[in-house]
Amino acid sequence: MHYELAPSILSADFAKLGEEIQAVEAAGARYLHIDVMDGMFVPSISFGFPVIKSIRRNSSSIFDVHLMVEQPERYIEETAKSGADIITIHAEACTHLDRAIEWIHQTGKKAGIALNPSTSLHVLDYILDKVDMVLLMTVNPGFGNQKYIDYCTEKISSLRHMIEERGLDVDIEVDGGIKEETIHAALDAGANILVAGSAVFGAATGENAGKYIKLLKDYQEKNS
């Protein structure tokens, strides 16, 4: 299993976004988590395609784009063109999930399905073998720096169990409230891609990213 830190730029200082991204990349991050919010699916509005396009020109990281938007199928094409590598859409926001996954794959990108904390894993029953990643929200989406919701740990375990039972190779990404106090619960339950926003970006961005990357590397070594 590969373990990855996915720094969420939502918590970056946008006045120096380029430098912030360089700092996490220099620390060894391979993923960049990019949160697009529409003010409808979630209360807040973040940023959109012009921002993704400009950072794409300056970064070779894996762009992990988390679309927190209603009817995300409207934006699959443009997300792909902007430079995403993984396009994740919310099951709650999309009526024709099966078709949307196909559309993502038709663009040549990896497909992720995100679930809010209260959404049952049952929505994955018939589509789990079609996706590359499942993003389990461990806070209610919309803002950075919220508290990890403890009941999500059991949900991560159940999903890992489902994936293993079916012999699939699907990544589990966790998003929200991942910090030193919570990261081990998520890892032990079976998550392998860890989003971290407020835990990474701040006064010592590079140092913070380096600390979590080392933690994941040690975890991977211990568990392989």
Binding residues for Zn ion, rule: CB under 5 A, are 35, 66, 175
Q: What are the structure tokens assigned to 44, written together?
A: 């807040």
If the CB atoms of residues 111 and 199 are measured against ligand DX5, the closer one turns out to be: 199
Contact 188, 168 (CB under 8 A): no
If the CB atoms of residues 39 and 98 are measured against ligand DX5, the closer one turns out to be: 39
Is 141 a residue that touches ligand DX5 (CB under 6 A)?
A: yes
Q: Which residue type, as a one-letter code, is found at position 190? A: G
Q: Of 9, 3, 4, 2, which is closest to residue 201 (Cα–Cα)?
A: 9
Is 35 a residue that touches ligand DX5 (CB under 6 A)?
A: yes
If the CB atoms of residues 151 and 167 are measured against ligand DX5, the closer one turns out to be: 151
Catalytic, out of 38, 169, 175, 218 = 175
Stretch of 20-28, 75-83, 97-105, 169-177 lying at the interface with ligand DX5 (CB under 6 A): 169-177
- For this structure, is 35 an active site residue? yes
- Count Cα atoms within 13 angstroms, Cβ side, for 61: 30
- Detail the DSSP E strand segments found in the chain: 4-7, 31-37, 62-68, 86-90, 110-115, 133-137, 171-175, 193-196
Which pairing describes strands 86-90 and 110-115: parallel, antiparallel, or unpaired? parallel
Catalytic, out of 35, 38, 132, 171 = 35
- For this structure, is 125 an active site residue? no
User: Which residues of the chain form contacts with ligand DX5 (CB under 6 A)?
Assistant: 8, 10-11, 33, 35, 66, 139, 141-146, 175-178, 195-199
